Amino acid sequence: MEKEEYVYKVFQSIAKGYDGANLRISLGLHMIWKKRAAEMLSRSLPQGGRLLDICCGTGDMTELMLRSRPDIVVTALDFSPEMLSLAERRFAGDRRVKLVRGNALNMPFERESFDAAVISFGLRNTADYTAALREAARVLKAGGGFCCVDSFLPECSLVRPFYNLYFSLLMPLLGGGIKKFGEYRWLSKSTKAFVSPEQLKDMLAGQNMQPKVEKSFMFGSCEFIYAIKCEEAFL
């Protein structure tokens, strides 16, 4: 089974318990990390600006952005109908949010449609990191901010054994119990297979997005990287 098909099935399966699982897995810290990223990104948006939330899941990042900047309009994209149905309940009646089902590798938006874009804990689950970043750059206006928040393998040799134990065994149990152990073990595997922060910064630069700010949390197990799309036309 190809990665994209497998990831789709995983997120369809875990959608209903996803928010609670994230709280347990991160000990409640993931929302603090996302909030820091939202605060950084919100400063780059013009009044009434348009934000794209890629791989939006249930919409928690969109909600944080709207709290920080009530004046903006958010387009939230995800490929999982189950995730989007939960986001739909969260934003029922909120005209500032448009939910779109779509693939991060081939988004249904015109070039330079958005003032800023964010992808939180989603890039490592895409089938092609470079293609996802290329699409983000395509739909982002020149000078617009892009923020990626994701999980990484800590580089510290003293920390990594404890990290591996937690993410390989304890995290899947906390997230999905015995019933969904396999699905949450995938989230561990996707982190181990992911690029390093340095590689990600090089990939961003290769897509005409210049990294400007990098923040690390929990010994490097989570980072956000903020980049700005260069003024030159993206080809």
Q: Is 18 exposed, middle or buried (0-12, 13-18, 19+ CB in 10 A)?
A: buried
- What pLDDT is recorded for position 1? 62
* Summary mean pLDDT of the chain: 90
Residue 36 falls within a domain, yes or no? yes
Contact 57, 90 (CB under 8 A): no
Task: Establish if 69 belongs to a structural domain.
Answer: yes
What mean pLDDT do residues 4-25 have?
Answer: 87
Gap between the Cα atoms of 144 and 72, Å rounded: 14
Contact yes or no for 147/118 (Cβ under 8 A): yes
pLDDT at 234 over 50: no
For 96-143, how does the pLDDT look when each residue is reduced to its tens digit (9 = 90+)?
A: 999 999 999 999 999 999 999 999 999 999 999 999 999 999 999 999
pLDDT of residue 147: 97
- Mean pLDDT, to the nearest integer, of 24-44? 88
What's the pLDDT score for residue 232? Answer: 62
Q: State the helix-helix crossing angle for 3-14 and 18-25, rounded to 10 degrees.
A: 100
CA distance linking residue 147 with residue 227, whole number of Å: 6
For residue 94, give every residue at least 6 positions away whose Cβ sits within 8 Å of its Cβ, in sequence order, or none: 66
The answer to the question of residue 31 being in a domain is: yes
Domain assignment of residue 234, yes or no: no
Q: What is the pLDDT of residue 233?
A: 46
- Mean pLDDT is lowest, of 4-18, 61-75, 148-162, 188-202, for 148-162
Task: Please write the tens of the pLDDT for every residue from 61-106.
Answer: 999 999 999 999 999 999 999 999 999 999 999 999 999 999 999 9
- State which residues form the domain around 56: 3-229
Q: Is 51 exposed, middle or buried (0-12, 13-18, 19+ CB in 10 A)?
A: buried
Asked if residue 235 belongs to a domain, the reply is no
Integer CA distances (angstroms), 120 to 64, 77, 82, 93, 234, in order: 12, 12, 18, 24, 23
Give me the mean pLDDT over the 7-18 stretch: 88
Is the pLDDT reported for residue 166 higher than 80? no
98 is a domain residue: yes
Please report whether residue 46 resides in a domain: yes
pLDDT at position 174: 67
Angle between helices 30-42 and 18-25 (to 10 degrees): 100
Q: Are 53 and 65 in contact (CB under 8 A)?
A: yes
Overall number of domains in the chain? 1
Tell me if 24 is assigned to some domain: yes
Q: Give me the CATH number covering residue 160.
A: 3.40.50.150
